[in-house]
Each structure stands twice: as structure tokens, then as C-alpha cells.
């Protein structure tokens, strides 16, 4: 599994033998079963995740109803908004598939950044790029109709439609499962 992390990093920085050896020494790869809740509302978040295989869902509970805000899949980082700040989380993280991740902590990050400053620079650059992309996606998402949101999901992340239950997809789109069924049927009839 370390190879997956190194493969990802090698897209952005040269991998030295020293870095490869250091990563192989760190025991930060963890496997989680489907249904595992990684973070609960009200709990302190001292772990972040890099998904090697699987899918993690972010959601809030509002009036007893789950509201899905994101699905995180392979080669994506999941960094809770209150990560490392001792501020309780406002949302949940749940594995919706068996999931293999690299798990980071503030202490581990500090140690790695001290030894390999290029990873800290990379992390900052990737973080800024991810934030910019998410802001653009969020703006498009807010402006789109429910059908446009579904079509965008179908185009940009079709794998999610097979990986996540329909009620979670509907929640992510901000609609009821029945409305999602009608949208899907209408699209199928147009083809």
C-alpha cells in the first residue's frame, strides 16, 4: 500500500530513496470496514485520510435526517474542517465501502515536514488547488437545477452511481429519492 502513496506523490515530486524508506517505516495505512464511522458530530478530529481504495461520505444530521455533502474516493484527501484544532466536528465521516487509507495526524505531519520540506510545499500547493476547484464546483452546484446536478454527477463521477446507495445520492443532490427516480426515468426516456 505504501506504493500507492509513493505513486501518487511521484506525480508531483521526485521520490528519493530516503523518502521511500521513511514512508515504508511509518505504519499509517489502515483498513476500515464498510459502515465504519471515522468521525462523529461533536468529536474532536485528530486524523486526516488519504484514500487508497474505497469511498468515504461526509454528512450532517439535520432534524434527524442525514444530509450528504460529499463523497471522497481514490486519490482524494479527507481533511476534516476542524482537523487538529481541538474544535468539535459539526459533521460525520463514514466509509460506504471497505476502505483502505493512509491516516495522518498533526504529529506525523510535523515529523514528515521536518524531514522532507518538499512534502509540506506540495501539501500546501495541492491544498490550494483543491480549494479552488471545490469553490468552482460548489458555485456551479448551487446554480444548477436538480436535473443539471444529476447530469453533472453522471458525467464527472459516474462511478458514484454504482458505489453509493440511491438515497445518499439523492441527499447529495438535495432531493428526495423519489425525485431522483423521476429525474433518472426522464433522462432515460430522452435517450
pLDDT in tens, 103-123: 989 998 888 888 888 778 777
C-alpha cell of 4?
500507492
Tell me the per-residue pLDDT of 23-34, one tens digit each, with 9 for 90 and over.
777 778 899 999
3-state secondary structure of 65: strand
| pLDDT for residue 131 is more than 80 | no
pTM: 0.84
Q: Which domains does the chain have, with CATH numbers?
A: 2-116 (2.60.120.10)
List pLDDT tens digits, range 46-90. 999 989 999 999 999 999 999 999 999 998 889 998 898 889 999
∠ Cα 161 167 169 (to 5°): 40
Q: Which residue has the cell 463514514?
A: 94
Please, which residues bridge with residue 37 across strands? 94
Query: Which residues in 111-140 are b (16+ Cβ under 10 Å) and which e?
Result: ebeeebeebeeebeeeeeeeeeeeeeeeee
Amino acid at each position: 500500500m505504501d506504493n500507492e502513496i509513493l505513486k501518487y506523490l511521484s506525480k508531483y515530486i521526485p521520490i528519493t530513496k530516503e523518502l521511500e524508506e521513511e514512508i515504508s517505516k511509518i505504519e499509517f495505512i489502515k483498513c476500515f470496514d464498510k459502515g465504519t464511522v471515522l468521525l462523529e458530530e461533536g468529536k474532536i478530529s485528530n486524523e486526516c485520510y488519504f484514500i487508497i481504495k474505497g469511498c468515504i461520505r461526509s454528512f450532517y444530521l439535520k432534524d434527524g435526517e442525514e444530509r450528504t455533502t460529499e463523497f471522497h474516493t481514490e486519490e482524494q484527501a479527507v481533511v476534516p474542517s476542524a482537523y487538529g484544532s481541538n474544535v468539535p466536528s459539526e459533521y460525520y465521516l463514514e466509509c460506504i465501502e471497505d476502505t483502505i487509507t493512509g491516516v495522518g495526524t498533526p504529529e506525523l505531519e510535523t515529523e514528515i515536514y521536518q524531514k522532507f520540506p518538499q512534502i509540506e510545499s506540495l501539501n500546501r500547493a495541492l491544498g490550494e488547488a483543491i480549494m479552488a476547484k471545490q469553490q468552482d464546483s460548489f458555485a456551479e452546484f448551487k446554480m444548477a437545477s436538480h436535473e443539471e446536478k444529476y447530469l453533472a454527477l453522471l458525467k464527472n463521477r459516474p462511478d458514484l452511481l454504482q458505489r453509493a446507495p440511491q438515497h445518499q445520492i439523492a441527499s447529495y443532490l438535495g432531493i428526495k429519492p423519489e425525485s431522483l427516480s423521476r429525474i433518472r426515468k426522464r433522462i432515460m426516456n430522452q435517450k
